[in-house]
């Protein structure tokens, strides 16, 4: 029974992947607003109705991946080594992600990644819906901070700051790559900016502002 259920699940998963891939390919090719859901369904060889059974909205065809990563920051905090401050763990994780050219850092210069990133930032409805996942990421991170012993108010404020700062850093990196800079060229400055950002979080803006 387990195997049979497994087969079904796998088939559903394959259908799901096919739909999402077809959609993203079309969106990258013609632009999100210039492709109708009907066209996606036709190309993916499912009915419109079925497509909506897998993805509740058109935007989710693109953004479903982010649903999985929304609590990544919280996970990092929870998995940190004994005795390490949460902010240090997050800083370290960001530096690692930069070194690995993690797409979420905006520092991956493969054409598809750049295009995908650009698709989201340049499509208003996608950017808007993305913030929903961002908000959940903030909530999750605030929970993790609280578990780590932070005051509830501090936890929320700091979580919001961390998440927003990481987004800004990613956007800045992406902007440079769009400008033609290679990820390797940008890397040192990206590392510096990330360090500066976490210094600000730890030490504050102080007299500077």
Partner DNA sequence: TGCAAGTCTGCACCGAGTATACACAGGGGT
Partner DNA sequence: ACCCCTGTGTATACTCGGTGCAGACTTGCA
Which residues are at the interface with DNA (CB under 7 A)?
1, 4, 7-8, 12, 15, 35-38, 45-50, 52-54, 56-59
Q: Which does 73 bind (CB under 5 to 8 A by kind): a copy of itself, DNA, none?
A: none
Q: Give Dmax (Cα) for the chain.
A: 66
Please count the residues of this chain forming the interface with a copy of itself, following the rule CB under 8 A: 38
CA dihedral 196, 200, 206, 209 (to 10 degrees): 70
Q: Which of 133, 125, 136 is nearest to 57 (CA)?
A: 125
Of the CA atoms within 13 Å of residue 102, those in its CB half-sphere come to 15
Q: Which does 47 bind (CB under 5 to 8 A by kind): a copy of itself, DNA, none?
A: DNA
Using a 10 angstrom Cβ sphere, with 0-12 exposed, 13-18 middle and 19 or more buried, the burial of residue 94 is: buried
- Residue 165 near a copy of itself by CB under 8 A: yes
**Shortest CB 31 distance to DNA, Å:** 11
- Cβ distance 29 to 111 under 8 Å? no
**Shortest CB 135 distance to a copy of itself, Å:** 8
Considering only residues 46 to 105 of the shown chain, the ones binding a copy of itself according to CB under 8 A are 85-87
Q: Which does 205 bind (CB under 5 to 8 A by kind): DNA, a copy of itself, none?
A: a copy of itself
- Residue 175 near a copy of itself by CB under 8 A: no
Secondary structure (H, E, C), 118-167: HHHHHCHHHHHHHHHHHHHHHHHHHHHHHHCCCCHHHHHHHHHHHHHHHH
Q: Which does 6 bind (CB under 5 to 8 A by kind): a copy of itself, DNA, none?
A: none
- Residue 115 near a copy of itself by CB under 8 A: no
Q: How far is CA 58 from CA 14, 29, 50, 66, in A?
A: 19, 16, 13, 14
Which range, of 42-50, 109-117, 155-163, 177-185, touches a copy of itself by CB under 8 A?
155-163
Q: Output 59 or 166, the one with its CB closest to DNA.
A: 59
Binding residues for a copy of itself, per CB under 8 A? 85-87, 124, 127-129, 131-132, 145, 148, 150, 153-154, 156-158, 160-161, 164-165, 167-169, 172, 193, 196-197, 200-209
């Amino acid at each position: 029974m387990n195997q049979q259920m497994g087969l079904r699940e796998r088939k559903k998963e394959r259908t799901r992947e096919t739909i999402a891939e077809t959609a993203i390919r079309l969106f990258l090719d013609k632009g999100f607003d210039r492709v109708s859901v009907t066209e996606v369904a036709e190309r993916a060889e499912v009915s419109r109705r079925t497509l909506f059974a897998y993805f509740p909205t058109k935007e989710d065809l693109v953004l479903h991946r982010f649903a999985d990563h929304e609590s990544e920051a919280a996970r990092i905090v929870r998995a940190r080594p004994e005795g390490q401050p949460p902010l240090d763990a997050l800083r370290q994780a960001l530096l690692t992600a930069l070194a690995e050219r993690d797409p979420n850092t905006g520092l991956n210069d493969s054409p598809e990644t750049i295009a995908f990133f650009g698709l989201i930032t340049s499509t208003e409805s996608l950017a808007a819906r993305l913030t929903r996942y961002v908000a959940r990421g903030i909530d999750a991170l605030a929970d993790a901070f609280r578990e780590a012993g932070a005051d509830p108010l501090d936890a929320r404020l700091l979580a919001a700051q961390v998440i927003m700062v990481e987004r800004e850093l990613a956007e800045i990196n992406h902007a440079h790559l769009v400008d033609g800079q290679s990820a390797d060229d940008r890397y040192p400055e990206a590392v510096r900016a990330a360090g500066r950002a976490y210094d600000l979080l730890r030490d504050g803006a102080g007299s500077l502002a």
